[in-house]
Amino acid sequence: MRVNFSDLKQKDVINISDGRRLGKPTDVAFNENACIEALIVPDSFSLIGCLKQSKSGIQIPWERVRRIGDDVILVEISPDLCQ
């Protein structure tokens, strides 16, 4: 499936662990191989402290993205992720 960032940033990010809406993506982080490493959403909510804080928001590791649908991006972030 091919998705443009302009399409991604229109979708709501939902945490399937608790059903919480995390916001719409504001950016993506790339690694040195130009592969997506993380999805960045605004940090206007408080989530577990193990996610990386950045100047532009909270980085959700790409491997935690479970599904990209027509209107939403489903991610799985559990409270015990860092324990």
Bridge partners, 14 (sequence order): 21, 74
Q: For residue 18, is it within any domain?
A: yes
- The token duo for 56 is 């532009």
| Residue whose C-alpha is closest to residue 57's, from 48, 68, 45 | 45
- The pLDDT assigned to 64 comes to 96
Asked if 50 and 81 count as a contact pair (C-beta separation under 8 A), the reply is yes
CA torsion, points 66, 67, 72, 74, in degrees to nearest 10?
-10
In terms of DSSP bridges, do strands 36-41 and 65-68 run parallel, antiparallel, or are they unpaired?
unpaired
Provide the number of structural domains found in the chain.
1
- The pLDDT assigned to 55 comes to 56
CATH code of 42's domain: 2.30.30.240
- The pLDDT assigned to 82 comes to 31
Q: For residue 19, is it within any domain?
A: yes
Q: What is the pLDDT of residues 23-78, one digit of tens each?
A: 999 999 999 999 999 999 987 655 555 555 555 678 899 999 999 999 999 999 86
- The pLDDT assigned to 53 comes to 54
- The token duo for 41 is 């959403």
Q: 43 lies in which domain range?
A: 5-75
